[in-house]
Amino acid sequence: MSIVITCPRYFSEVKNLNELIMNEEYSVELVTPKGQGFDAKEMKKNLRNSKIAVVGDDEINDDVINSCPKLELIIKWGVGTDNINISKNFPKVLNTPGDIYIDVAEHVIYLIGSLLKQIPYIHKELLISTEWNKPIGTRLMDKNLGFIGFGSIGQYTAKLLKPFGVNIFYYDPYSDKSDNSIALKKDLKFLQKTSDILVVTASLTEETRHLVNKQFFNNLEKKPYIVNVSRGEIINEEDLIYALDKNLISGCALDVFEKEPVIDGNPLRGFNNVIFSTHNASNTLEANNSVNQQVTNTLLKWISE
């Protein structure tokens, strides 16, 4: 029986997995995507003979499942399963969040600092120019930070940010778990009115898809910085370009995009106040080890049952 792995971040664990399985009944096959993940057509081919699949950000839909009759279990490496859009109850789909929230939260801090102090711009200018450019930065202290989505990533990020002396608010209809000494729950209009920095940490659902759009940007009362470490589709990218063109926001830092990887012709590449990250916020040795161990334990448990 075949275990197919399409998530490169799990490849380093395969030797350990093989030693733990020690079962000739199972064979492990590694398939490497060229970009962020395989599309549905490619996954039909990759999984056609598999019983268990360990996947990353690959596209899986009913058409894929119908083409893979042997498939019993899909293990999603990491948290979000929005790339797995199936109507069937079988195969079983399990995610493996590990402690990724720590690494993503730290990444948010670095992106905010890079935006406020214009660090990537200074670095780029120093490389291509002999001029000693010294743009004026912005202090983080006393800023209003608004979180769109307040699950484990948002809550941990807020805890890390609180010692900077910031005021933290969040919009999340499904979360009431916040310590009020750290963050206050508000509606989306409040965040649009008061935020100096907006951080997107919501899950991608039909409710949140393109939640941040032209109407959202037009209703902003300040010119906030925007950080997105969740899913690219939550922000309408065309409308984000409009907001940058109209100077409705001060800049943005994006770890995720509507289409990944980002193509050469993407207009976002033309703005000096846009910071790019390659869907890489959780990619640390510690996070990889945590999730890999959870994937292995989940897989072994399934096999033994």
CA quadruple 173, 177, 180, 183: dihedral positive or negative? negative
Catalytic residue (one of 131, 260, 269, 305): 260
Residue 170: per-residue pLDDT: 97
Q: How many CA atoms lie within 13 A of 152 on its CB side?
A: 10
Residue in the block written with tokens 């839909």: 61
Catalytic residue among 9, 107, 237, 279: 279
How does pLDDT run across 185-208, given as a tens digit for each residue? 999 999 999 999 999 999 999 999
What are the sequence ranges of the domains in the chain? Answer: 2-96+284-304, 100-272
Domain 100-272 belongs in CATH node 3.40.50.720? yes
pLDDT digits (tens, 9 = 90+) for 275-293: 999 999 999 999 999 999 9
In this prediction, residue 134 carries a pLDDT of 94
25: helix, coil or strand? coil
**φ, ψ for residue 141 (rounded to 5)?**
-55, 135
Is 260 annotated in the active site?
yes
For residues 92 and 278, give the distance between their C-alpha atoms in angstroms, rounded to a whole number: 29
Torsion sign across C-alpha atoms 186, 188, 194, 200: positive
pLDDT on residue 131: 82
- What is the rounded distance in angstroms from the CA atom of residue 4 to the CA atom of residue 32? 11
Decide if 2-96+284-304 and 100-272 have a common fold. yes
Exposed (0-12), middle (13-18) or buried (19+): which is 274, by Cβ within 10 Å?
buried
Going 263 to 269 to 274 to 277, the CA torsion angle's sign is positive
- Are 28 and 14 within 8 A, CB to CB? yes
Of the candidates 50, 16, 58, which has an alpha carbon nearest to the alpha carbon of residue 34?
58
CATH architecture for the domain at 2-96+284-304: 3-Layer(aba) Sandwich (3.40)
SS3 content of the chain, % helix, strand, coil (to 5): 40, 20, 45
Per-residue confidence (pLDDT) for residue 140, from 0 to 100: 98
Read off the tokens for 234: 């939550």
Instruction: Tell me which residue has tokens 């990218």.
Output: 237
Active site residue 231: yes
Alpha helices in the chain (DSSP H): 14-21, 40-46, 62-66, 100-117, 119-128, 152-161, 188-194, 214-218, 237-245, 285-304
DSSP E strands in 86-237: the ranges are 92-96, 144-148, 167-171, 184-185, 197-200, 225-228
| Identified catalytic residue from 9, 13, 107, 231 | 231
For the chain, 305 residues long, give each residue's pLDDT as a single digit of tens.
Answer: 799 999 999 999 999 999 998 877 889 999 999 989 999 999 999 999 999 999 999 999 999 999 999 999 999 999 999 999 999 889 999 999 999 999 999 999 999 999 999 999 999 999 998 889 899 999 999 999 999 999 999 999 999 999 999 999 999 999 876 667 899 999 999 999 999 999 999 999 999 999 999 999 999 999 999 999 999 999 999 999 999 999 999 999 999 999 999 999 999 999 999 999 999 999 999 999 999 999 999 999 999 88
Please tell me the predicted confidence (pLDDT) of residue 136: 96
Q: Is 125 a known active-site residue?
A: no
